[in-house]
Structure 1
Amino acid sequence: MNILKTAAFAASMTLAAAAPSFADTLKAEGGSAAGLSALVPQLLSKYTTDNHEIRVNVDQTLTRAALKVANGSINMASIPAGAYDKMVKGKGPYKKVSEEAIAASGNVRALFSFLGGHYHPMTYADSGVESWEDIKGKRVFVGPPAGSASGQSMDMIEAITGYKAGEDYEAIKLAWGAANQAFEDGKFDLFMRTGTMGSAAIDQFGSAKQFRILSVPQEVIGTDAWAKYLQVPGRATDVMPAGTYANQVNADEDVLSSAYVMFMGVNKDMSDDVAYQLTKAMFENLDDAHSVNKGLTPLNLGNAFVSQKAKLHPGAIRYYEEAGVEVPAELRPDAS
């Protein structure tokens, strides 16, 4: 059940009467601490110490974070491309406040896109779940309440098996921190855990007993169901190579996984200079970022706009033009 109350949710959508005022201390939010949605704003905090202090709160529900960016209560956040698409349309987690969500989406601007991570459909080796079909009638953690991860998890399961949440399996929704502990305590049979490929935090789940990661069946790729699943902006298919995790019982196999794209979102009223400095700081420190986590390797100037639907901030555009990067006309704020 969606635990967000309509009134409270609508209140968070209310736009500030005056334009947000951005000081040298910036407030940022990221998602699961095991994923790149938390790491990217943390790295920006590291790279911009000469100009700004960035305070990052992680393990946040990023659909809410997008609203906070829109109303100016925080300065920036990692925003799932798919969640923003639903925000623009007033659908999914924004359905009950559709008109307000659509209006709020116009206040969001992007700095750059990045690969947010991969889905890790995890089950302990002794759980009896060895294939997707085995989750019939079982308890499955799909993501946080009202978050985009839960919707993507349920869509993925339906595309692979045809199973529907609430009919063929029990869909469990918890905050990420509570879900981590619940999985270790055996409270659900399949853990649809998001995270960076190769993350030590993922491998840690197998410190007591080994886990299995379910692969997207090869025969599903190319079906109408999978094509429909990938139609949502920000969704992709990727391979996690064999040997990625030491504690994985099927570590000798490549795992076909679903990946997701995010973007660093800011309010449209952030000053051009601040947006410029943040964008420049990220791309001038790519060597360090890539060394910190190999999941950030795809992040480069050539991939800065992957799955991007939000308009770019003028300050970010200024940096791209200085760097000789062609900015698509549809991503400019004055584009219709």
Structure 2
Amino acid sequence: MMKSALAGVAIALAPFAVAAQVTLTSETSSVGSSPHYVDTTLAAVLDSAGVATVQVTEGATLTNSVQAVAEGRLDMASAPMILPFLLSRGIGPYSGVGVEEGAKLASGIRVLFFHAGSHQIFGHYNSAPIEDIRNLEGLRIWNGPPRGAALTSGRAMVQLLSGLKDGEAYEGIQTPWPDTVATITGGGVDAWTSPDGIPSGRQIQLAAAGGITLYDVPSDLLASELGQQIVAAPGHAPFSMPVEEYRAAYAGNDITIVTDDDTFDSYVTAFAEITSDSMDEQLAFDIVTAFLEAQDRFEQGSPIGPNLALTFGDINGVSQGACGAVQVKMHPGAIRAYEAAGHTVSDCLRS
């Protein structure tokens, strides 16, 4: 296990905790995102429990983080489930890695726990020249970071809504996560689509600069052949929440929620907290044990906490976006921690 620290933000929120036995490195996305909340809360939990000190690098591109974990240059990261899938085939952002090396790297990735805190939304400022989200031709739309799972999901959202492909009938704008809010509030785009938790700190930041409208996927489009393909795509899973609960999450902000029925429907980006198979089994056990014991802290530490689909119970694999097109295994130490806590883990997640 690596002892050196990557340049990043050291999380040390419990100054009176027992001295940690090991220092771990982690990377996460930008402030306001659900992976950021999960990773920084996990770092604080592990520090408080005396399990480890975790140094977290914020604003990372998770495509790179997944490869860094697989190569042993990073201890942990939040990973959209589609990324190990793409790495295992040496395609997409990992085409430069190659099929053989990609499969080798992906085979060493192990899961500590799962979450699915981000669902795809489409939004724009109320002053934007948009009357129908099915007609987006000629617009500039922020659809993700320069590469990776979020960009794939964002492009899929625009295609599902309007039938348009990036670069052909609309101009897709991509920036690193830390620049997202500034790019949108600066007037550089007409609309945006992004994976967000509920409530989303990013959307609240955007609304502070002017009223915004957020949309789900209309029912007929979600039920279409393309819609069902996107929902079932590697790394995705269905998302649905009563619209009144969804609106209540944004109460007090200048945010309008538009749906065609009484639910907000979309697709989630399935995530896992990953490490490598080289992590010590006892350390993985201690990490996951501390995670499971901190359920209240995760769920009450932020408004998004209860909606993160964090795995604090039985794990069947399918509900977490695994055991299908995405084939990942849990770390043996993690499985032992779940079983010690009285939970079951599907055989499809065992090495």
RMSD: 2.0
- Deviation at residue 304 of structure 1 after TM alignment: 7.3
| Equivalent in 241, 249, 252 of residue 244 of structure 1 | 249
| Equivalent in 318, 325, 328 of residue 346 of structure 2 | 328
Asked if the contact 2:281/2:332 (under 8 Å) is kept, the reply is yes
Alignment correspondent of 1:15:
none
Cα 1:249–1:278, aligned 2, differ >3 Å: closer, same or farther? closer
- Give CA deviations for 1:19-38 in whole Å, capped at 9, x if unaligned: x5457110011123212211
Asked if the contact 1:135/1:189 (under 8 Å) is kept, the reply is no
Alignment-mate amino acid for residue 37 of structure 2: L
Alignment correspondent of 1:278:
287
* Structure 2 unmatched runs, 5+: 4-20
Alignment-mate amino acid for residue 253 of structure 2: N
- Rounded Cα–Cα distance in structure 2 between residues aligned with 1:298 and 1:112: 8
Q: Which moved more, 1:301-310 or 1:181-190?
A: 301-310
Asked if the contact 1:80/1:148 (under 8 Å) is kept, the reply is yes
Alignment correspondent of 2:321:
307
Secondary structure at 2:329's aligned position in 1? coil
Secondary structure at 1:135's aligned position in 2? coil
* TM-score with structure 1 setting the length: 0.87
- Rounded Cα–Cα distance in structure 1 between residues aligned with 2:213 and 2:248: 12
Asked if the contact 2:69/2:276 (under 8 Å) is kept, the reply is yes
Percent identity, aligned pairs only, is 25
Alignment correspondent of 2:185:
184
- Rounded Cα–Cα distance in structure 1 between residues aligned with 2:208 and 2:121: 16
- Rounded Cα–Cα distance in structure 2 between residues aligned with 1:248 and 1:256: 21
- Deviation at residue 297 of structure 1 after TM alignment: 5.5
- Rounded Cα–Cα distance in structure 2 between residues aligned with 1:304 and 1:56: 29
- Give CA deviations for 1:81-104 in whole Å, capped at 9, x if unaligned: 112211122222112323222221
- Deviation at residue 310 of structure 1 after TM alignment: 1.3
1:157 is aligned to 2:158 = yes
- Rounded Cα–Cα distance in structure 2 between residues aligned with 1:199 and 1:231: 24
- Rounded Cα–Cα distance in structure 2 between residues aligned with 1:138 and 1:40: 34
Cα 1:116–1:84, aligned 2, differ >3 Å: closer, same or farther? farther
Q: Which moved more, 1:74-83 or 1:229-238?
A: 229-238
Alignment correspondent of 1:73:
73
- Rounded Cα–Cα distance in structure 2 between residues aligned with 1:131 and 1:238: 22
Q: Superposed, which structure 2 residues align to 1:164-203 within 5 Å?
A: 164-203=165-204
- Rounded Cα–Cα distance in structure 1 between residues aligned with 2:347 and 2:148: 31
Secondary structure at 2:249's aligned position in 1? coil
- Deviation at residue 269 of structure 1 after TM alignment: 0.3
| Equivalent in 46, 49, 60 of residue 48 of structure 1 | 46
Alignment-mate amino acid for residue 331 of structure 1: L
Secondary structure at 2:123's aligned position in 1? strand
Cα 1:225–1:330, aligned 2, differ >3 Å: closer, same or farther? same
Q: Which moved more, 1:61-70 or 1:324-333?
A: 324-333
- Rounded Cα–Cα distance in structure 2 between residues aligned with 1:251 and 1:232: 26
Alignment correspondent of 1:95:
95
Secondary structure at 1:282's aligned position in 2? helix
Secondary structure at 1:269's aligned position in 2? coil
Cα 1:47–1:202, aligned 2, differ >3 Å: closer, same or farther? same
1:267 is aligned to 2:276 = yes
Asked if the contact 1:155/1:229 (under 8 Å) is kept, the reply is yes
- Give CA deviations for 1:70-90 in whole Å, capped at 9, x if unaligned: 111110000001122111222
Alignment correspondent of 1:128:
129
- Rounded Cα–Cα distance in structure 2 between residues aligned with 1:107 and 1:206: 42
Q: Which moved more, 1:283-292 or 1:23-32?
A: 23-32
* Structure 1 unmatched runs, 5+: 1-19
Alignment correspondent of 1:6:
none
Alignment correspondent of 1:14:
none
- Deviation at residue 118 of structure 1 after TM alignment: 2.0
Secondary structure at 1:247's aligned position in 2? coil
Q: Which moved more, 1:149-158 or 1:195-204?
A: 195-204
Secondary structure at 2:256's aligned position in 1? coil
- Rounded Cα–Cα distance in structure 1 between residues aligned with 2:122 and 2:56: 27
Alignment correspondent of 2:234:
233
* TM-score with structure 2 setting the length: 0.84
- Rounded Cα–Cα distance in structure 2 between residues aligned with 1:194 and 1:221: 17
Asked if the contact 2:136/2:162 (under 8 Å) is kept, the reply is no
How many correspondences in the alignment? 314
Asked if the contact 2:143/2:155 (under 8 Å) is kept, the reply is yes
Cα 1:257–1:42, aligned 2, differ >3 Å: closer, same or farther? same
